[in-house]
Structure 1
Amino acid sequence: MARRTAARLAAVQALYQIDFNAARAEAVIAEFLNHRIGKVIDDGLELDADRDHFRDIVTGVAAAQAEIDPMLESSLAEGWRLERVEQTLRAILRAGAYELTARTDVPTAVIINEYVNVAHAFFSGSEPGFVNGILDRLAGHLRADHRGGKPAGGAPRK
């Protein structure tokens, strides 16, 4: 697994833990850096993640969550609230939305594909398609490089 891919997977796990336990981001980041990243995990595999990318995603989501959540909620079907979305999916969407807004050095298609693949690591049903649809819709409003369009600015409309 590529180091940035592993960082995204670990970041989603950390964001889930922060959300589930109402934990502080700094404490969860320290736990992951000291006890998970670079360590042997399930099935004898080492989680060789890009530590800086992991830290950037988790701290970035924590710092910008008040802006990220309304953008994501605006990308959901009418009548849906982000709090209704399963916690792991919320973590995936938040991480993807953060990268779409803050990591202009990473192409849009790469971000969307990476988080669809992360969703496949956790789900075998329609959830990866859900992630693709939400991040694709959000990217259409945020990124000029997405399908040749121009960013509309702000949150997507319903």
Structure 2
Amino acid sequence: MSPLAPKQARSVARLAAVQALYQMEVSGAGAEAVIREFSEHRFDRDVPAESDEDARTLAAADEAFFADLVRGVVGHQREIDSAIARRLATGWKLERIDATVRAMLRAGAYELTHRPDVPTEVAIDEYVELAKSFFEGPEPGFVNGALDAVAQDVRKG
């Protein structure tokens, strides 16, 4: 397997970060434990060719970017959740949103608020594409609208 281009390796890292954030929420595991688990078991460099597509894909993640996303979301969760909640429809609470969508919004909002090296359009598009891979309903549009609104609040110009 050839190494992925840096852009694609970051896309894979985003997928892994969403999975990790979801796992942390449902299991109560801490960030460092989940990062270590992904590093030791899911990002294995010696993935056999006959492994399923998900295993081969995750093996090519940008691990440093993945770890930054997970640590960043956890470290800034109150601020990130507040930025998202400000833009939800009246009466909606972040807790009402599907846990996978919530993980996408948190990771995307972290990139928008704390990773100025990531262009706004890239951060939004990446999580919309992830939403499309998980959901066939209105969720991709919801992710797009919510992250676009957060970007308007936190990225001036």
For the criterion TM > 0.5, the same-fold answer is yes
TM superposition score normalised by structure 2: 0.88
Unmatched runs of 5 consecutive residues or more in structure 2: none
Runs of 4+ residues deviating >6 angstroms: none
- Other-structure match for 1:59: 71
Cα separation, 1, equivalents of 2:104 and 2:19? 9
- Other-structure match for 1:83: 95
Unmatched runs of 5 consecutive residues or more in structure 1: 146-158
Question: Contact (CA 8 Å) 2:22, 2:100: kept in 1 or not?
Answer: yes
Question: Contact (CA 8 Å) 1:15, 1:91: kept in 2 or not?
Answer: yes
Give the CA deviation at 1:139: 0.4
More off after superposition, 58-67 vs 39-48: 39-48
The correspondence of residues 31-42 of structure 1 with structure 2, limited to 5 A, is 31-38=37-44, 40=47, 42=52
TM superposition score normalised by structure 1: 0.87
Cα separation, 2, equivalents of 1:59 and 1:45? 24
- Other-structure match for 2:140: 128
Question: Contact (CA 8 Å) 1:38, 1:49: kept in 2 or not?
Answer: no
Question: Contact (CA 8 Å) 1:38, 1:46: kept in 2 or not?
Answer: no
Q: 2:11 aligns with which of 5, 21, 25?
A: 5
Aligned residue pairs total: 145
For 1:80-138, what per-residue CA distance to the aligned partner results, in whole angstroms no more than 9, with x for missing partners?
Answer: 00000000000000000000000001110010000101111211111010000000011
Percent of aligned pairs with the same amino acid: 55
